Amino acid sequence: MGIAAAFASALALSRLPRGWGFGLQFGLGLLLLVSLVYPVLSVWNKTNGFQAFEWSLDGTVYFQRDSPDEWAVIQWLKTAPPGVVAEAVPPTGGSYTGFGRVSMLSGQPAVLAGSGMRASGVVGDCHGSSRQDDLRRLYCSRDWNETQAILDRYHIRYVFISGLERSNYPPGEDVCPVGLVESKFVRYLQKVFGQGQAIVYEYTGADSANP
């Protein structure tokens, strides 16, 4: 549409009478000027009035500063054996949020990433909504057999739990009556890394190491 609009504008400017052509030039110039307002204001906003905490081209600096515990877990996962990571994804998909951060920053595959679109490619259905429901049951179910079935279905090796997971699955929902049930992971899985509130549990089922 952008290319077509540019071509149509040039064609119109070359064919319209002088008066109409001048009016179109004025309108296009005004539109261009208005469109430049956002870049100017956004630069001021994104740099905190050119008073940034730290000038860097590293897009993870903010994460290291604001979430040191999760950053430590992510660094550990970078060196851990390959495996599918389970992490929370909200019903809305989590686009432009902190969800999906573990898979994105560690390079490990995920059952479902924060955008709700980038599935890990492991065995299972390809529909984001089904994977979201399964993740909710994974974290909230008190039935270990149901939990284990989900771990096997998506070949999950690592279950990640931190602040977003705990807040994303509050008690009171039909599938999540008591909230996130971490006790089952403590009982049946091995805690392989943790710092602060950020914890990784490892499932060593038959297929968890072979996504």
Q: What's the confidence (pLDDT) of residue 93?
A: 67
Q: How many CB atoms lie within 10 A of CB 126?
A: 8
Q: How far is CA 99 from CA 18, 78, 104, 114, in A?
A: 55, 18, 9, 5
Among candidates 138, 147, 133, which has minimal Cα distance to 90? Answer: 133
pLDDT tens-place string over residues 30-80 = 988 998 898 888 888 877 788 877 778 888 888 888 899 999 999 999 999
7-12-18-22 Cα dihedral, nearest 10 degrees: -60
Q: What's the confidence (pLDDT) of residue 48?
A: 78
pLDDT tens-place string over residues 136-193 = 999 999 999 999 999 999 999 999 999 889 988 888 877 788 899 999 999 999 999 9
27-29-34-35 Cα dihedral, nearest 10 degrees: 110
Q: Which of 3-12, 83-92, 155-164 has the largest mean confidence?
A: 155-164
DSSP state of 178: T
**Axis crossing angle, helix 37-46 with helix 18-35, rounded to the nearest 10:** 10
Q: What's the confidence (pLDDT) of residue 117?
A: 41
Please tell me the least confidently modeled range out of 22-26, 94-98, 190-194, 199-203.
Answer: 94-98
Distance from C-alpha of 106 to C-alpha of 204, rounded to nearest angstrom: 20
What mean pLDDT comes out for the span 7-25? 84
Question: What's phi and psi for 82, nearest 5 deg?
Answer: -60, 145
DSSP state of 162: S
Q: What's the confidence (pLDDT) of residue 170?
A: 87
Question: What's phi and psi for 31, nearest 5 deg?
Answer: -60, -40
Distance from C-alpha of 122 to C-alpha of 151, rounded to nearest angstrom: 11
Q: What's the confidence (pLDDT) of residue 197?
A: 92
- Is the per-residue pLDDT at 15 higher than 60? yes
Q: Which of 96-100, 114-118, 200-204 has the largest mean confidence?
A: 200-204
pTM for the whole structure: 0.71
In sequence order, which residues have a C-beta less than 8 Å from that of residue 177 and are 6 or more positions away? 140, 171
